[in-house]
């Protein structure tokens, strides 16, 4: 039971990260391939502040999120006005740097020996992990709600405008660089917050947790569900993490000697799913969350000079 609560709690964290990536990439077009780096800064920042400096957990989490925001702010000045490929490479490299520093700076982070122990809040309560699960759910539901409201808001339309045509958006009075920086820093800080909230789930932090596979899992979830759809990220996490890490790993009657193959089988299935989606449903399972459209007339009125052929 505890394992299931742990898995579902982790799934909530993945859904939260995918929502934030939906805002960054789906709405604003920033290809952040360093999700695990920002999440990891929050995770380890919380761990270090809690374990080494004996700060209360909530203070450690908030402070770690602020540190993540500061790092994201510096990074945003360096890369955000570059091309998409440059942002992708730079954020990927950033995550690798964070992971390397976690290993090399062992006086602070514990290196490969790890850092712990980080306990749940409300230590006296027996079902504290269940309470923590619901606390995580509140945070993630709030993120989903904000993300859903954002699409139809004035701010959301500005983000889509900047994503679609930054020059045109600037000519219409949008401070495109400032908006991109602000949204990037805020969403990265929230990734750090989710990292901080993950620390009590793992209790003992090891560098392995910062493997790039987390970034790829969140990206795959976003692409599967539909990057342009608010709920796509959530559906994607259910179809990947929920299906494989929870349902199959927990309930599938796999013999113990073959269970070791499950992680590789999972990656294989992710790959096949991704190829199928890209081939047959490029907008993702839920498709594009575009404007509420009315059907266009099948034929254009005769003699209409404004309509070109086609």
Q: Is there binding between residue 173 and other proteins (CB under 8 A)?
A: yes
Q: Which residues contact 166 (CB under 8 A, 6 or more apart)?
A: 176
Q: Is there binding between residue 46 and other proteins (CB under 8 A)?
A: no
Q: Is there binding between residue 200 and other proteins (CB under 8 A)?
A: no
- The DSSP symbol for 293 reads P
Applying CB under 8 A, among 255, 296, 299, 302 the residue interacting with other proteins is: 296
Alpha helices in the chain (DSSP H): 2-21, 35-51, 57-79, 84-104, 106-109, 128-151, 154-164, 166-171, 176-202, 213-225, 232-237, 249-251, 256-259, 262-280
Applying CB under 8 A, among 83, 165, 203, 250 the residue interacting with other proteins is: 165
Q: Is there binding between residue 294 and other proteins (CB under 8 A)?
A: yes
**Least distance from C-beta 29 to other proteins, angstroms?**
11
Q: Is there binding between residue 306 and other proteins (CB under 8 A)?
A: yes
How far apart, in whole angstroms, are the C-alpha atoms of residue 27 and residue 92?
Answer: 20
Interface pattern 242-281 for other proteins (x via CB under 8 A): ----------------------------------------
Nearest partner of 10 among 223, 240, 187, 226, judged by Cα: 240
Applying CB under 8 A, among 71, 92, 143, 160 the residue interacting with other proteins is: 160
Nearest partner of 91 among 155, 187, 230, judged by Cα: 187
Q: Is there binding between residue 308 and other proteins (CB under 8 A)?
A: yes
* Cβ contact 191:91 at 8 Å: no
Question: In this structure, how many other beta carbons lie within 10 angstroms of the beta carbon of residue 168?
Answer: 12
**Least distance from C-beta 154 to other proteins, angstroms?**
8
Q: Is there binding between residue 172 and other proteins (CB under 8 A)?
A: yes
Q: Is there binding between residue 176 and other proteins (CB under 8 A)?
A: yes
Q: Is there binding between residue 86 and other proteins (CB under 8 A)?
A: no
* Cβ contact 215:36 at 8 Å: yes
Cis ω for the linkage preceding 7 (within 30 of 0): no
Q: Is there binding between residue 288 and other proteins (CB under 8 A)?
A: yes
- Tell me how many residues contact other proteins (CB under 8 A): 32
Nearer to other proteins, 178 or 255 (CB): 178
**Least distance from C-beta 227 to other proteins, angstroms?**
12
Nearest partner of 284 among 214, 236, 219, judged by Cα: 236
Residues that bind other proteins (CB under 8 A): 154, 157-158, 160-161, 163-165, 167-176, 228, 288, 290-294, 296, 300, 305-308, 310
């Amino acid at each position: 039971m505890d394992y299931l609560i742990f898995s579902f709690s982790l799934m909530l964290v993945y859904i939260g990260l995918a929502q934030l990536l939906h805002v960054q990439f789906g709405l604003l077009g920033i290809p952040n391939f360093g999700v695990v780096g920002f999440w990891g800064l929050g995770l380890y920042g919380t761990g270090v502040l809690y374990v080494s400096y004996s700060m209360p957990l909530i203070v450690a989490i908030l402070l770690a999120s602020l540190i993540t925001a500061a790092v994201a702010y510096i990074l945003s000045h360096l890369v955000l006005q570059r091309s998409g490929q440059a942002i992708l490479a730079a954020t990927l490299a950033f995550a690798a740097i964070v992971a390397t520093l976690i290993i090399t700076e062992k006086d602070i982070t514990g290196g490969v020996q790890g850092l712990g122990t980080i306990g749940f809040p409300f230590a006296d309560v027996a079902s504290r992990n269940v309470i923590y699960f619901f606390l995580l759910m509140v945070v993630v539901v709030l993120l989903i709600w904000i993300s859903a409201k954002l699409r139809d808001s004035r701010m959301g339309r500005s983000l889509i405008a900047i994503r679609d045509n930054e020059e045109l958006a600037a000519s219409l009075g949008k401070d495109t660089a400032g908006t991109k920086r602000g949204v990037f820093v805020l969403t990265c800080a929230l990734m750090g917050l989710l990292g901080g909230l993950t620390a009590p789930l793992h209790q003992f932090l090891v560098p392995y947790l910062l493997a790039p596979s987390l970034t790829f899992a969140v990206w795959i979830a976003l692409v599967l569900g539909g990057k342009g759809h608010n709920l796509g990220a959530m559906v994607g996490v259910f179809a990947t993490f929920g299906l494989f890490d929870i349902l199959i790993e927990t309930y599938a009657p796999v013999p113990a000697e073959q269970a070791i193959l499950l992680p590789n089988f999972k990656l294989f299935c992710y790959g096949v799913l991704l190829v199928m989606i890209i081939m047959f449903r490029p907008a993702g399972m839920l498709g594009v969350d575009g404007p509420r459209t009315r059907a266009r007339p099948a034929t254009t009125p005769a003699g209409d000079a404004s309509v070109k052929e086609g």
